A and B are shown apart, each in its own frame.
Chain A
Amino acid sequence: MSAALLETRGLCKSFGALEVARRIDFRLQAGARHALIGPNGAGKTTFVNLLTGVLAPSAGRVLLDGEDVTRLAQARRVKRGIARTFQINQLFRGLTVLENVCIAVAERMRAGGGMLRPAGQRAEVVAEAARLIALLQLDADAGRRVGELPYGRQRLVEIAIALGLQPRVLLLDEPAAGIPSAESHILLEAIGALPADIAVLIIEHDMDLVFRFAERITVMVGGAIFAEGRPAEIAANREVRAVYLGGALDG
């Protein structure tokens, strides 16, 4: 097996007696299009929080490109190339769509601490933000406050912010939740337009999207990895069907 871009070894997390991550050994290759599925409460979001540093693990390690990042703060991991979107939108609601994306791009370009030149005059930052806004077909809303947008449009801003960080590893926590089905193609196209060498891990309940997108699927149940394989293998796995997929694949 080739070296993984992102890897966890024996990752555990418990809150008191409640184990939410049990010895997770997980590998994400460069360029992977990987889906993480499982029933509600399986610990998928917790796993993302452990990967990004929002939570500190009780035991185990997180490796990025072979380097141990387990002790690194969230912002440091972002700088090394791990970006995420949130299951529930985490945006700057009082700022415009353009400003939201600009803040992310400015941080990536290490221009976020600049004190003299006005933010709006940083042409390279604003141009990059505008390009991402166009990619997610948010042009018409660029000047509107995020809080005024419908939830589905806000979801796309989440994606634009994550892309603005130019990650090597992109973790998408239920990106399609709340996006009207008529607009979900925008999301797929945006992910499809990503550079091939970015590793993408997507948590999603929409099986249609999962099987269209993923080349590899990991199933989590009760805080542990239950099964992993190519989509066809997962779809054919009787135990997976029993615990989670149920009728979702029969139709």
Chain B
Amino acid sequence: MSSAAMHELAMRHRLQWWEALPWAAGLAAFFLFPNYLAFGTQVLVTILFALSLDLVLGYAGIVTLGHAAFFGAGAYAVGMLAAHAGWNEPLSGLVAAALVAGLLGLVSGWILLRTHGLTLLMLTLCTMALLEQAANMFSGWTGGFDGMPGLSFTPILGLFEFDVLYFRTQYLYALAALLLGFAVVRVLVYSPFGRSLTGIRENLLRMHAVGAPVRARQVLVYAISAALAGVAGAVFVQATGYVNLAVLGLERAAGVLIILILGGYGRLYGAFVGALVYMLLEHTLSKAYPTAWQLGLGLTLMLVALFARNGIFGLGDALRRRWSAR
């Protein structure tokens, strides 16, 4: 009978006990590693950014190399509002960043998502390069090459102050933003909308043939993902107090792609594991081998690409299958 399958489908979105682990670990890290909270904040921001990419790449199958454009849009939005408009309130800043990045995603998605494959890859890259160049040129607004250092933001809810030396507030703020962003993504991927994205990824021809408005769905998820990336960028700027061209460069875009592939895409938690592993590697290797650390990172990535095609999570799956096959 199909009742077992129906039951499985109806229960699939339920929270599992282990889904509390990342949040417990995130809180534990706050108390255990008080000297590493700045690094921890960077990790949390990167997870949120990678999660937004997972929504378009892992679930909807839209291959993009320019996702940092939206991270950067959110980052520059709060940065410019704070520097030029005196808009220093952090929470409304996040909303503004989400709107700016989301709108950019909507417009660029509407134009770019007529294409796919390599063409799309190139066009997303070009869009990001255009933004980067614009941020460089309009230096009166953006600070140009030097960016905008020394931005300050008012305490969150008027209570929790951002301390530039101790990242206690920043860390918890980033954790809260991540939790919120994660909740949005998780609800989306289990919804019929999310399933239809998976359908688009799995078989475009069939998705058209069941009457789904394919391109509208793609543009919509692209905009939602862009808004989330924008929030990640905004948190980054509010936490560190500066913004510069690095927020929307190719390095950041490629980095987040590598993180998602490293962790495993299309599975929500790949972003968590990928970001943590990648940034820990980067952190420890650059300390141990200040001149040659990228070599170690490169080798690790090559090993993953060769032996763990579906990332760290995929490797876990393979081991579990082998174990249960015994």
Interface residues of A (CB under 8 A from B): 52, 54, 74-76, 78-79, 83-84, 86, 90-99, 102-104, 106-108, 111-122, 125-126, 130, 133-134, 138-139, 142-143, 161, 164-165
Q: Is B299 an interface residue (CB 8 A)?
A: no
Closest to B207 in A: A103
**Residues from 180 to 231 in B contacting A, C-beta threshold 8 Å:** 187-188, 190-196, 198-199, 202-203, 205-214, 217
Identify the stretch in B10-18, B88-96, B301-309 within 8 Å (CB) of chain A at 4 or more residues. Answer: B10-18
| Contact between chains at A90 and B192 (CB < 8 Å) | no
Besides A90-B203, A115-B191, 11 other A-B contacts (C-beta < 8 A) = A52-B209, A74-B208, A75-B213, A78-B209, A96-B9, A104-B210, A114-B192, A116-B187, A120-B10, A142-B6, A161-B210
| Contact between chains at A143 and B5 (CB < 8 Å) | yes
Q: Report the separation of the CA atoms of residues A95 and B206 in the bound assembly, to the nearest whole angstrom.
A: 13
Produce 1/0 per residue, B68-107, CB < 8 A to A: 0000000000000000000000000000000000000000
Give every chain A residue within 8 A of B194 (Cβ-Cβ).
115, 119
Q: Is B292 an interface residue (CB 8 A)?
A: no
Q: Report the separation of the CA atoms of residues A75 and B212 in the bound assembly, to the nearest whole angstrom.
A: 6
| Contact between chains at A97 and B5 (CB < 8 Å) | yes
| Contact between chains at B193 and A115 (CB < 8 Å) | yes
**A-B contact list, 22 entries, CB within 8 Å:** A74-B211, A83-B209, A90-B209, A91-B206, A94-B202, A96-B5, A98-B5, A102-B9, A103-B210, A104-B210, A106-B195, A108-B210, A108-B211, A112-B192, A115-B191, A119-B190, A120-B6, A120-B10, A120-B13, A133-B2, A142-B1, A143-B5
Specify which of B187, B190, B192, B196 lies most central, judged by the most chain A CB atoms within 10 Å of its CB. Answer: B192
Give every chain A residue within 8 A of B203 (Cβ-Cβ).
90-93
Give every chain B residue within 8 A of A75 (Cβ-Cβ).
208, 211-214
Give every chain A residue within 8 A of B4 (Cβ-Cβ).
142-143
Give every chain A residue within 8 A of B8 (Cβ-Cβ).
120, 143
Closest to A144 in B: B5
| Contact between chains at A114 and B193 (CB < 8 Å) | yes
Closest to A138 in B: B2
Q: Top 7 A-B pairs ranked by shortest CB distance?
A: A78-B211, A143-B5, A142-B2, A142-B5, A120-B9, A118-B13, A92-B202
Size of the chain B interface, CB-CB below 8 angstroms = 36
| Contact between chains at B211 and A134 (CB < 8 Å) | no
Give every chain B residue within 8 A of A120 (Cβ-Cβ).
6, 8-13, 190
Give every chain B residue within 8 A of A165 (Cβ-Cβ).
210-211
Closest to A93 in B: B202
Q: Report the separation of the CA atoms of residues A108 and B205 in the bound assembly, to the nearest whole angstrom.
A: 17
| Contact between chains at A107 and B12 (CB < 8 Å) | no
| Contact between chains at B187 and A115 (CB < 8 Å) | yes
Specify which of B187, B191, B198, B213 lies most central, judged by the most chain A CB atoms within 10 Å of its CB. Answer: B191
| Contact between chains at B10 and A121 (CB < 8 Å) | yes
Q: Report the separation of the CA atoms of residues A98 and B4 in the bound assembly, to the nearest whole angstrom.
A: 11
| Contact between chains at B10 and A126 (CB < 8 Å) | yes
Q: Report the separation of the CA atoms of residues A76 and B210 in the bound assembly, to the nearest whole angstrom.
A: 10
B227 to chain A minimum Cβ distance, whole angstroms, is 14
Produce 1/0 per residue, B1-41, CB < 8 A to A: 11111101111110000000000000000000000000000
Give every chain A residue within 8 A of B5 (Cβ-Cβ).
96-98, 142-143
B162 to chain A minimum Cβ distance, whole angstroms, is 33
Specify which of B11, B12, B207, B214 lies most central, judged by the most chain A CB atoms within 10 Å of its CB. Answer: B207
| Contact between chains at B208 and A130 (CB < 8 Å) | no
B124 to chain A minimum Cβ distance, whole angstroms, is 24
Pick from A90, A113, A119: contact of B9, CB under 8 Å: A119
- Given A93-B202, A126-B10, A142-B5, are A99 and B210 also a contact pair (CB < 8 Å)? no
- Given A78-B211, A103-B195, A116-B187, are A90 and B205 also a contact pair (CB < 8 Å)? yes
Q: Report the separation of the CA atoms of residues A39 and B207 in the bound assembly, to the nearest whole angstrom.
A: 29
| Contact between chains at B196 and A99 (CB < 8 Å) | no
Give every chain A residue within 8 A of B202 (Cβ-Cβ).
92-95
Pick from A76, A78, A103, A143: contact of B2, CB under 8 Å: A143
Q: Report the separation of the CA atoms of residues A130 and B4 in the bound assembly, to the nearest whole angstrom.
A: 11
| Contact between chains at A106 and B10 (CB < 8 Å) | no
A72 to chain B minimum Cβ distance, whole angstroms, is 11
